[in-house]
Amino acid sequence: MISRRQALIAGGAGVAVVGGSAVAVGVFKGDKPEPLAPPSTDGKGHTVWRNWSGIQHSYPVQRAAPKDEGELAALLKAGPAPIRVTGAGHSFTGLCATDGTLVSLDAMNGIESWDGDQATVWAGTRLGALGPALAEKGRAMANLPDINKQSLGGALGTATHGTGRTLKAIHGDVQALTLVTAGGAVLDCDAKTRPELFSAARVSLGALGIISKARLTTTANRRLRRKVWLEPFEEALAKAEERWATHRNFEFYAVPFTGLAANISHDETDDPALDRGPDSDSVFLDALKGLRNLLGFSTGLRKAAAKALLGGTPAETAVDEGWKLLSTERPVRFNEMEFHLPHETQLAALKEVVETIEKHRPDVFFPIEVRRIAPDDAWLSPFQGEPRGSVAVHAYYRDDYKFFFELIQPIFVKHGGRPHWGKLHDLKGPQLAALYPRWNDFLEIRRELDPEGRLLNPYLKTLFGVD
């Protein structure tokens, strides 16, 4: 008999259910090997670039880190094409891969200026660094995504978001931005100056130019109470809408092969700080992987073991400034597919996804993330025109993820989902045009700003239907 805390720590060693009790049964040796890494250099001596999960790579002929907009403009005008910009490499698609010029904006970081409660921020600023920088002025971003390693420019380009029924994705708080085009022009835009460009550029996949800076609306830096708790999956489904209506931020994770869901809420509070404590997510994943490794042959045994080990886990509470709580460290690598669905179909799609995984993919052990996002009016925003609910499916980086396309994407498409631009999908031109009312308008602006396609790598050419 082992305690639940011991079970979490020993998850990688495997567990079994005997007479209703969980017992350790020994070390499992069946994990898949580390994926083969691409060569560190190509035949011409160019060094490899890889994304965070390792599934995308390329060999740029030139790497550049401009220090200001002048250097960036000169680089865009003369650098070897295709010219792509990379931040933290947290996109799973081929957005950043290039055998031309790879641009880092890390040298263009920090807060440039303040205008009342609006901060103009350089696009190379990492979200994790922006939180404490804003807090020095008593301000904060209204919301943050699950991971805060991304650069601001990368977050805007892919419509990165957090969760909260009344809270927009990060680009929804942008009031103005500066775009440096493939021809070297530096263009300022907002709702009154070049309004169509502003609507197109806030979410633009790096296809219109490179955003150098953006002016963001900030909020008061309030303290939040974070609560994390487990409950039966069906109960989480039944109460999700009520919780999105009640909490400032709410999301939950459906945990396949356990019958459980993990809920996370954040609400403003004046209570004294209460330390979040050490990360427990990685330990939780180790336990789920151990269950998969030992009991993947039997869904019934796997669920029974999960409930015995995890079912009575006490809730966790923390109180601190929002920028310290809303994002989480994710040291365990994975690949991901995420779609944003009409709120009225979100939970039905989720239920179908869980049923499909439990029927066909016993190798999956990562939880499925479920969030709600307020609408905005950026042309290529997945939340354009209406609130949307996101469902994100993950696969351990050593495991096969092709089932995303074969089994999961069809469910999302059937329920009216729009893809997250930084997550895996294979939708293209006509399908995307049907999902985004201003798709063709965006393509027209792209052609005007970059007629030679200097910003288009093979992935974007396929996405946009460019020869």
The domain limits of the chain are: 224-419
Per-residue confidence (pLDDT) for residue 30, from 0 to 100? 54
Per-residue confidence (pLDDT) for residue 365, from 0 to 100? 97
CA angle 95, 440, 210 (to 5 degrees): 40
Inter-residue contact 299 to 121 (CB < 8 Å) = no
Inter-residue contact 140 to 325 (CB < 8 Å) = no
Per-residue confidence (pLDDT) for residue 7, from 0 to 100? 44
Phi, psi of 320, deg, nearest 5 = -170, 180
Spatial separation of the C-alpha atoms in residues 316 and 345, rounded to whole Å? 30
Per-residue confidence (pLDDT) for residue 353, from 0 to 100? 98
Spatial separation of the C-alpha atoms in residues 257 and 300, rounded to whole Å? 8
Q: Which DSSP state fits 25?
A: -
Of 159, 150, 196, the C-alpha closest to 51 is 150
Of 123, 83, 77, 80, the C-alpha closest to 103 is 83
DSSP string, 411-428: HHHHTT-EE-TTS-----
Per-residue confidence (pLDDT) for residue 174, from 0 to 100? 98
Question: Helix %, strand %, coil % for the chain, to 5?
Answer: 30, 25, 45
Structure tokens at 286: 């180790």
Compute mean pLDDT per 10 residues along the chain, 467 residues long, and list them. 39 44 43 92 97 98 98 98 96 98 98 98 98 98 96 98 98 98 98 98 98 98 98 98 98 98 98 89 93 95 95 93 95 97 98 98 98 98 97 97 98 98 96 97 98 98 93
The third-level CATH classification (topology) of the domain covering 224-419 is Vanillyl-alcohol Oxidase; Chain A, domain 3 (3.40.462)
